[in-house]
């Protein structure tokens, strides 16, 4: 694989010819199927197939994967043009392997609302380690606000991704409630009910872990939040469920602001199995002031 930086006068087809790769593959690998126009300075990923297979009548993706001793998931990954779907046609060329050694292992998580376009999800799942339907809220008595997540869970498992349950203090009005967090963190009866409901939902729906995302927690609840996460880890790990905590992107331990003060990096890191640093708080589609 090489990274090509677009020069003046170049087109997608001229770059494909330069490297001797199929134009269709170059377009798919760079998300340019619908708009092949290039911009000077744009970076393009160029991959070089090492082994290919020409589809014969009667073959399926499963039979081709078995023929080469590879997983169906990897066959999808090598051929994004399939869109995660099973349709083949005789004469179609599939990439079995690419030149170059694999460098390390990358875990990838994707968040999705239940109303996500299912074709988009199907084409994405083969590249995900985890899929996290967004989001389970809860009421002041610890009752979970259920989600219509059955299709997402099934598609995650079918595509080889592990579904993670997402718990947050997001309310129906669209904001994170520090009052709701305070109740769950300080009222033992509510916390017991919440944890019991989490455990039941994890088991009943076939989730593989829990991602906790409490934002704008009161600074005085920082210790209680870490303790709550530690309690979740102690109770859920023996059942096979890892616990992940989402962290606000702090630049210093004492950074002021309601988003940051209750997220004690050291205490939370010691309480859970993994953490997720929400750097998208620094830059996203409509706000480009920081790392993306």
Mind telling me the catalytic residues? 215
Please compute Rg for the chain using Cα positions: 23
**C-beta separation of 102 from 138 below 8 A:** no
- Quickly count helices (H) and strands (E) in the chain: 10, 13
Q: Alpha carbon of 34 to those of 30, 43, 82, 83, 118: distances in Å?
A: 11, 17, 15, 14, 19
Distance CA 204, CA 146 (A): 12
How do beta strands 130-133 and 109-112 pair?
parallel
**C-beta separation of 52 from 11 below 8 A:** no
Six token digits for residue 81: 């043009």
């Amino acid at each position: 694989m090489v990274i090509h930086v677009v020069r003046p006068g170049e087109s997608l087809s001229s770059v494909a010819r330069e490297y001797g790769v199929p134009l269709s593959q170059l377009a798919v690998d760079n998300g340019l199927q619908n708009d092949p126009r290039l911009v000077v300075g744009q970076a393009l990923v160029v991959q070089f197939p090492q082994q290919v297979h020409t589809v014969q009548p009667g073959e399926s993706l499963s039979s081709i994967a078995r023929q080469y001793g590879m997983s169906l998931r990897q066959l999808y990954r090598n051929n994004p043009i399939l869109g995660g779907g099973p349709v083949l046609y005789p004469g179609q060329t599939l990439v079995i392997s690419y030149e170059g050694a694999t460098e390390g292992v990358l875990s990838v998580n994707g968040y999705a609302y239940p109303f996500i376009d299912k074709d988009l999800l199907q084409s994405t799942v083969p590249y995900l380690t985890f899929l996290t339907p967004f989001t389970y809220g809860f009421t002041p008595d610890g009752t979970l606000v259920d989600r219509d997540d059955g299709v997402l869970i099934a598609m995650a498992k079918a595509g080889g991704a592990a579904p993670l349950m997402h718990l947050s203090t997001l309310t129906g009005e669209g904001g994170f409630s520090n009052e709701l967090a305070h109740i769950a963190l300080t009222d033992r009866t509510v916390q017991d009910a919440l944890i019991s409901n989490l455990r039941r939902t994890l088991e009943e729906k076939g989730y593989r872990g829990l991602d906790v995302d409490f934002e704008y927690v009161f600074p005085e609840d920082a210790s209680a939040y870490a303790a709550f996460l530690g309690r979740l880890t102690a109770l859920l790990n023996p059942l096979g469920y890892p616990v992940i905590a989402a962290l606000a992107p702090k630049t210093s331990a004492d950074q002021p602001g309601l988003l940051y003060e209750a997220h004690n990096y050291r205490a939370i890191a010691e309480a859970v199995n993994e953490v997720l640093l929400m750097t998208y708080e620094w830059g996203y589609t409509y706000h480009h002031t920081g790392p993306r």
